Amino acid sequence: MTALPRRAATALLALGLALSPMALVAEPLTLSDPVAADSLPASKQIAAGLYITAADAARVLEANPNVALVDVRTPAEIALIGYATPTAAHIPAQFLAAEPEFSKGSYKMVDNPGFIQEFVAWLASDAARGIDTVLVTCRSGSRSATAIAKLAAAGVSVDLYNIVDGFEGDRGENGARDLNGWRNAGLPWTYKIREGLRPGHN
């Protein structure tokens, strides 16, 4: 595994010192609708096998102050499509490139080189004090799975759950994202970018 940059390593050390050993052992979440790994496409699966639907995520967030929601979509998605109101932090895992990717009918995505450092810094901040479980969301559950894999490989020790239907949900037969997801469940969301949403960018 590639060594973390000094700043990220320092942040991880600070995180370990700031949290007690007991705080790093989160209780399993009580879910109304548990998600089995074999019901998911490979792109949404994570090694830890911690999955949650958007509907369950809303209930868990309301009942558990030790649980936080982090959105890893691009700033453009947050601004133009909106985000879940209880989102604790927006930490993009990728950005949109300027060049179209015509074979996929979309713009190319490029990794955020500071993603792990930004996430670790947020987790060690006062804003995340007491958080031992993070629910990670993207558009529909694939980019969040990739982000979780990167965080786990970097040694982030909180429980990381993949919200498998994300903010917009999966595509239905007509191609629209109308099957599931945070917005389709009628859960609270907003376009308004509040102060503190993007850590380090106030």
Provide the percentage of residues in the chain whose pLDDT is more than 70.
87
Give the burial class of 109: count Cβ atoms within 10 A of its Cβ; 0-12 exposed, 13-18 middle, 19 or more buried: middle
d(CA 51, CA 59): 14
CB 164 within 8 A of CB 53: yes
Predicted confidence (pLDDT) per residue in 53-70, tens digit: 999 999 999 999 999 999
Section 86-113 average pLDDT: 89
CB 145 within 8 A of CB 46: yes
pLDDT of residue 25: 55
Q: Say yes or no to pLDDT of 17 above 80.
A: no
Domain range holding 30? 7-190
What SS3 state is found at 61?
helix
For residue 202, count other CB atoms closer than 10 A to its CB.
Answer: 7
Section 124-150 average pLDDT: 97
Confirm whether pTM is higher than 0.95.
no
Q: Within a domain: residue 2?
A: no
Q: Which residues are paired to 159 by β-bridges? A: 133
Return the DSSP state at 35.
Answer: -
Q: Say yes or no to pLDDT of 91 above 50.
A: yes
Nearest CA to 26 out of 117, 149, 135 is that of 135
pLDDT of residue 100: 79
**Counted domains in the chain:** 1
Q: Within a domain: residue 129?
A: yes
CATH number for 75 = 3.40.250.10
- Within 13 Å of residue 136, how many CA atoms lie on the same side as its CB? 29
Nearest CA to 109 out of 86, 92, 87 is that of 92
Lowest mean pLDDT: which of 78-92, 126-140, 150-164, 166-180?
A: 166-180
Section 73-86 average pLDDT: 96
d(CA 72, CA 68): 13
Q: Within a domain: residue 198?
A: no
Predicted confidence (pLDDT) per residue in 157-169, tens digit: 899 999 999 999 9
pLDDT of residue 23: 41
